[in-house]
Amino acid sequence: MKLDKNTLAQLAEHLENAELKAHDVTKITDDHPDMDWDDAYAIQDLIRARKESRGHKTVGLKCGLTSYAKMKQMGVDTPVFGFVSDYMACAEGSDIKTSELIHPKVEAEICVVTKAPLKGPGCHVGAVMAAIDFVIPGVEIIDSRYRDFKFDLKSVIADNTSASRFVIGGRARRVEDLDLRTLGVVLEKNGQIVAMAAGAAVMGHPAAAIAALANHLGARGQEIPTGSFIMTGGVTEAIAVQAGDSVNVRFQDLGTVGMRFV
Ligand code: 0L1
Ligand code: MG
């Protein structure tokens, strides 16, 4: 690690304040060009600890930048991992207040809940499939705290991978009743289709994103606990939204997840 404890704590406070007060900041690597991957995840961990110390529950784990469309959109080639907190969860069909956000974008995500722990290294798609309890469709609302969504990977990891809000809806299905690779997803904004893809857009198989998460945590001596809610990452590029927009995402065999931005 390149940054000292005080600097890590200051950066966590700086980024969390930007999230909670909905104001943008410049990417932190501008001032800390030497920071490394461990520093980036340590800042994210400190943000998580700050939220938990105020009583917020961490309710899920997220994989980001897992689809080729998202990687191309952001000009990167590595998945990143973060968490979601209880206050980020919004009900299906709810109004999402843009005044609490900076420049939101939506992502259609295949999500799962696990029934067994997953531990890397060596975690693979087969192990993940055996550990999935059920699959449920979701939409993540990302909101990078960085001006104009301009960042590098270390800055975005520190910023909890732009996590902001999420909506779970549709209907849960057993994993054996679905083919996660061919599962079609159609994203509509204001009644117009703006993006579509199949599950295989996520690293060839959405379970591969969860295996990558387990291997990432395994390298840090951690695991994905039983009963974890996991978002596997946007299947298409992210779509910008603003007040007045409505979004509906149709997931094959899993129903629709919708919301309005106000
Ligand atoms: O969930 C995501 O894929 C977001 C990862 C961070 C990059 C971004 O803000 O687009
Ligand atoms: Mg996402």
Measured CA to CA, the distance from residue 196 to residue 257 in angstroms comes to 14
Separation of CA 1 and ligand 2 centre (Å)? 27
The minimum-distance atom of ligand 1 relative to the CA of 62 is 1
Q: What pTM did the predictor assign?
A: 0.97
Separation of CA 159 and ligand 2 centre (Å)? 13
SS3 content of the chain, % helix, strand, coil (to 5): 35, 30, 35
Predicted ipTM beyond 0.90: yes
Measured CA to CA, the distance from residue 74 to residue 68 in angstroms comes to 10
Q: Residues with Cβ within 5 Å of ion ligand 2?
A: 64, 107, 140, 234
- What average pLDDT is seen over the chain? 97
pLDDT tens digits, one per residue of 190-223: 999 999 999 999 999 999 999 999 999 999 999 9
- Ligand 1, atom 2, lies closest to the CA of 64
Average pLDDT over residues 52-58: 98
pLDDT tens digits, one per residue of 124-164: 999 999 999 999 999 999 999 999 988 899 999 999 999 99
Bridge partners, 211 (sequence order): none
Indicate whether 75 pLDDT > 90.
no
Measured CA to CA, the distance from residue 137 to residue 234 in angstroms comes to 11
Indicate whether 70 pLDDT > 90.
no
The verdict on the CB of residue 144 being under 6 Å from ligand 1 is yes
Nearest alpha carbon to residue 23 among 101, 104, 140: 101
HSE of 116, CA atoms in CB hemisphere, 13 A = 10
Indicate whether 68 pLDDT > 90.
no
Q: Which two tokens stand for residue 31?
A: 């001032």
Domains and CATH numbers, the chain: 56-259 (3.90.850.10)
Separation of CA 176 and ligand 2 centre (Å)? 24
